[in-house]
Amino acid sequence: MSARAKIFIVYTGGTIGMRKTPTGYRPEPGYLQDLLDRIPHFSDAELPLFDIEEFDPLLDSSDMNPSHWLRIADMIRRNYAAYDGFLVIHGTDTMSFTAAALSFMLEDLAKPVLLTGSQVPLEELRNDAQHNLLTSLLILGRHHARLSEVMVFFANQLFRGNRTSKVSVDSFDAFASPNYPPLGRVGIDIKINWDLILPARARTPALDMLEIVELGSATVGAFRLFPGLKPSMLEAVLAPPVQGVVIECFGAGNAPTSDAAFMRVLEAATARGVVVVAVTQPTRGSANLSIYRTGRMLLEVGVVSGFDMTTEAALAKLFYLFEKGFSPTRVKRLMQQSLVGELTVPTEMIDAGEQDSMPWTAADREAT
C-alpha cells in the first residue's frame, strides 16, 4: 500500500472557520483546528495527512492585499519540499484575486495548490464547509502526482484558479469559470477532465524548490466603463505613477470612442508607456478589439486585447509582468498570450504564430 499523501494547509481566515459572537461572525485563532478535531471524517484513513498553519491575525478576505498573497506564497515555498500538495483556506470575497495572483507568482509550480472556503461556517449545523474541505483534501490526496497548477474547488466543481470569478453571495455555488470548462466535477465520483489540466512539470529532488515573484510594488489598477463617463475620471486613474490598467469594456471590447476627449486620454497614457488592457464586462465572452470599429479605434490609440481573461486574472498578470521588470512593449505582447492557462488565444493568432509556447518556462521568461 502506498504511503498517504501529506498536505500543507494555509488557513488565511474567512467564513469557513468563523465563530458566532454577539457582534457577528468572526475568525478566531485555533477554532478551525478545534472543529476539525471534533469531526471524525477528518481523521479518516482515506484522507491524506495534513498540517495547518494559520495567518496571524486571521483575515476577512476583504482585507486581502498583495502583501498577503506574498505571505501565502512564502508559506508554500517554505514547506514545498516536505508536502505533496497545498490547500489554501480563504474567504470567498477575494478568493479569485488570490488564486489568479498565485498562479503567476508560483513560477514553475510542480505540485497542486488548491483554494477553497465556504459560504456558511463549519460550526453551523447546515453548512457547505465540511464538504468543500473534505473533497479538496480527497482531490489533493488522490491526484497530487498529476496536478501542478493553482485551482479553486467549490460546490462540487474544480476550476482553474485564474479563470474564476465569484458570482453569488447567497448560493453554495458561489464561483464560476465562465470562459473555461471546469477541470473536474464531483458527484458520486470525483471526475477530473485530464485533457483540460496544464501539463505536469517534472518533479525531482533537484527541483524541490519553488521560486516566487513578489507582487506589490507595481502600480496597476482596474476601471469599469459606464454611460456618462467623464474623461477626467479615466484620466485620474491613468495618471502617473500608474503602469497598467485593466479597462472593463462594453461587449466585445467596445468603448465611447466617439468621445474625442476620452480617446485623447487613452492615447496620452499609452504614449507615455501605460499598458491599457481591455476585458469585457459581461460574464462570458472575449474582448477582441479587432472585431468592431470601436475596438479597432482602441487598438489605434495603443489599447491591447485581454481577450477572455477575467478582471481578476488580468490585474494579477499586470502586477506579475511589471514586477518581472519587463518593458511596456513586452508587457503588452505578453498580456495577449497565455502564460498559465489564463486566457484563450484567438485561432487567428495561433495560426499566425503569435502565441508563445506553453507552459511559461524559465527560457520564455528570459527571452527578449
Annotated binding site for substrate: 61, 92-93
C-alpha cell at 213: 515573484
C-alpha cell at 356: 508563445
Dist CA 153 CA 92 (whole Å): 11
Q: Is 146 helix (H, G, I), strand (E, B) or coil?
A: helix
Judge contact between 191 and 184, C-beta under 8 A: yes
Phi-psi region of 108 (alpha: psi -120 to 50; beta: other; left: phi over 0): left
Q: Which of 12, 21, 23, 92 is catalytic?
A: 92
Alpha helix stretches (DSSP H) within the chain: 31-38, 66-78, 95-105, 129-143, 231-238, 260-271, 293-300, 311-323, 328-335, 347-351, 362-366
Judge contact between 278 and 287, C-beta under 8 A: yes
Four-CA torsion 95, 176, 140, 31, nearest 10 degrees: 40
At 215, the amino acid letter reads: L
What does the buried/exposed string (b/e) look like for 28-54 if buried means 16 or more CB atoms within 10 Å of the residue's CB?
Answer: eeebbbebbeeeeebeeeebbebebeb
Dist CA 157 CA 96 (whole Å): 14
Largest separation between any pair of C-alpha atoms in the chain: 70
Phi-psi region of 30 (alpha: psi -120 to 50; beta: other; left: phi over 0): left
Work out whether the CA dihedral 53, 57, 63, 67 comes out positive or negative: negative
Q: Check if 92 is active-site.
A: yes
Going by C-beta distance under 8 Å and a sequence separation of 6 or more, which residues neighbour residue 356?
334, 337, 338, 339, 364
Q: What is the DSSP string of 260-289?
A: HHHHHHHHHHHHTT-EEEEEESSSSS-B-T
Q: Which of 12, 15, 135, 270 is catalytic?
A: 15
Other C-beta atoms lying within 10 Å of the C-beta of residue 169: 9
Q: Check if 15 is active-site.
A: yes
The set of catalytic residues is 15, 92
